[in-house]
Amino acid sequence: MALRNIVVEGDEILRKTCREVGEVTDRIRETLDDMVDTMHEAMGVGLAAPQIGIMRRMFVAEPEPGGKIYYFVNPEITYREGSVEGEEGCLSVPGYFGIVDRPEKITIKGLDRDGNHQEYTFEGFEARVMCHEYDHLDGILYKDKAKEMFDESQVGYEE
């Protein structure tokens, strides 16, 4: 596995819509594995392909440290329920966090790391993580949806 460079705000790639993955190949699996390593190294809970400069509809997420790692290729959110505000940060927007309104519950489907169809329902923080990563695939950053933004130094916030 290899660590990838994380693209930061200001790079136009973060504002573009990603293309679908045609087939889950060894190269796609290798990229997903690199994304997990990069996410872990940066101490994040999710990472989308455009954050490492790859314009494909895929992301990885691990909402609970040491928990299940989710791989989503060509994801689609098929159900949203409720609304809840919460704090979010982003590896591509270092030094800041914001208050963002997200669905309380979602259902998301897509392909897994092996190209098999999968569908999950997530609630709470897990739903927030999946929605955040999903937005990256459409060129949307959390700060676009934030009701308020804060510099970490303003409140002593640490990741």
Give tens-digit pLDDT for 19-57. 999 999 999 999 999 999 999 999 999 999 999 999 999
Q: Residues 65-73: what's their mean pLDDT?
A: 96
Please report whether residue 3 resides in a domain: no
Please report whether residue 2 resides in a domain: no
| Amino acid type, 15 | R
Burial of 35 (0-12, 13-18, 19+ CB in 10 A): buried
Output the six-digit token pair for 7: 């693209």
Question: Sign of torsion, CA 75 86 106 125?
Answer: positive
Q: Is the pLDDT of residue 17 over 90?
A: yes
Q: Supply the CATH number for residue 37's domain.
A: 3.90.45.10
The C-alpha atoms of residue 131 and residue 18 are separated, in whole angstroms, by 15
Please report whether residue 4 resides in a domain: no
Output 159 or 103, whichever has higher pLDDT. Answer: 103
Predicted pLDDT at 154: 66
Sequence-separated (6 or more) residues with CB below 8 Å from residue 100: 85, 86, 87, 88, 128, 132, 142, 145, 146, 147
Contact 82, 103 (CB under 8 A): yes
Q: Is the pLDDT of residue 136 over 50?
A: yes
Average pLDDT along the chain:
95
Q: Which domain holds residue 129?
A: 12-155
Q: Would you call 133 a catalytic residue per the annotation?
A: yes
Whole-model pTM?
0.94
Confidence at 153, pLDDT banded by 50, 70, 90 = confident
Distances (CA, A) of 117 to 24, 91, 100, 132, 144: 11, 28, 30, 21, 31
Please report whether residue 7 resides in a domain: no
Question: Sign of torsion, CA 28 32 35 37?
Answer: negative
Q: Residues 50-77: what's their mean pLDDT?
A: 97
The values of phi and psi at residue 118, to 5°, are: -145, 155
Please report whether residue 5 resides in a domain: no
Q: Residues 103-123: what's their mean pLDDT?
A: 98
Please report whether residue 58 resides in a domain: yes
Predicted pLDDT at 43: 95
Please report whether residue 6 resides in a domain: no
Q: Which of 133, 152, 158, 159 is catalytic?
A: 133
Burial of 114 (0-12, 13-18, 19+ CB in 10 A): exposed
Please report whether residue 1 resides in a domain: no
| Total domains, the chain | 1
